[in-house]
């Protein structure tokens, strides 16, 4: 049963200081943000070497606001989208938003941060304008080999350490430059380079 204070739409009065949202402007902005994530997905897929990404489209792209809340997401793997909404805020918190600047990117596959398996690697970059962080762009992509007991995504393993290397949030790109020691460490875990 509903409380008696809840009325019909016509009986409700607007909140005293609520902003009126122009529905046309709202839809234009919403669609522009959604299209930005679709463009991210197209760029990722076209530049991928991995069959999982290029052919199977086993990846997802998401746009977050500065408080690390999902703003828009590309059509992608539904299980990733659920994970990313938890994983990205936890990665940013674990690494420290204050440690991320323009041109930086952090990478992780830690299953304890967001319920992914080790083959799902997430990359996050902050988006800056005039020295202000506007939000974050992120993608999660499935990689076949992350250095586990077998070069496939699922093996007969009993513990997570047999699946491959667990990567906590680490900076892969700093001020637009690849952090080569991190990149080389990750490459060293992969059978085919």
How far is residue 156 CA from its own chain's centroid? 28
Residue 9 lies in a domain: no
Residue 2 is assigned to a structural domain of this protein: no
Q: How many domains does the chain have?
A: 1
In the chain, what is the straight-line distance between the N-terminal and C-terminal CA atoms, in Å? 63
Note whether residue 179 is domain-resident: yes
> In angstroms, rounded to a whole number, what is the distance separating the alpha carbons of residues 75 and 145?
25
Q: Specify burial of residue 15 (Cβ count, 10 A radius: 0-12, 13-18, 19+).
A: exposed
Please give the full DSSP string across 97-121, using - where no structure is assigned: GGG--TT-EEEE--HHHHS--TTEE
Give the tokens for residue 181. Answer: 């020691």
Containing structural domain, residue 115: 19-187
pLDDT band per the 50, 70, 90 thresholds, residue 5: very low
Question: Is residue 13 included in any domain, yes or no?
Answer: no
pTM of the model: 0.84
Residue 111: pLDDT over 70: yes
* Domain presence at residue 55: yes
Which phi and psi (to 5°) does residue 87 adopt? -65, -45
Task: Report residue 127 as tokens.
Answer: 């988006």
CATH of the domain at 153: 3.30.450
Tens of pLDDT, residue by residue over 63-89, are: 999 999 999 998 777 777 788 999 999
Residue 120 lies in a domain: yes
CA distance 37 to 160: 31
Phi, psi of 44, deg, nearest 5: -65, -45
pLDDT higher than threshold 60 for residue 60: yes
Query: Does any domain span residue 193?
Result: no
Residue at 176 is within a domain: yes
Specify burial of residue 128 (Cβ count, 10 A radius: 0-12, 13-18, 19+): middle
């Amino acid at each position: 049963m509903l409380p008696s204070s809840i009325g019909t739409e016509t009986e409700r009065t607007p909140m005293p200081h609520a902003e009126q949202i122009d529905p046309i402007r709202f839809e234009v902005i919403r669609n522009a943000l959604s299209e930005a994530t679709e463009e991210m997905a197209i760029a990722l897929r076209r530049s991928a070497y991995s069959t999982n990404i290029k052919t199977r489209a086993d990846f997802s792209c998401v746009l977050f606001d500065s408080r690390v809340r999902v703003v828009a997401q590309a059509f992608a793997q539904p299980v990733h989208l659920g994970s990313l909404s938890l994983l990205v805020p936890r990665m940013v918190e674990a690494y420290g938003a204050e440690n991320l600047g323009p041109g930086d990117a952090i990478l992780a596959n830690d299953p304890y941060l967001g319920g992914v398996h080790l083959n799902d690697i997430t990359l996050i970059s902050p988006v800056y304008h005039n020295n202000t962080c506007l939000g974050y762009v992120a993608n999660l992509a499935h990689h076949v080999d992350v250095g586990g007991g077998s070069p496939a995504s699922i093996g007969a393993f009993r513990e997570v350490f047999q699946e491959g290397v667990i990567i906590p949030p680490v900076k892969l790109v700093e001020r637009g430059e690849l952090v080569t020691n991190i990149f080389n460490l990750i490459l060293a875990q992969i059978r085919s380079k």
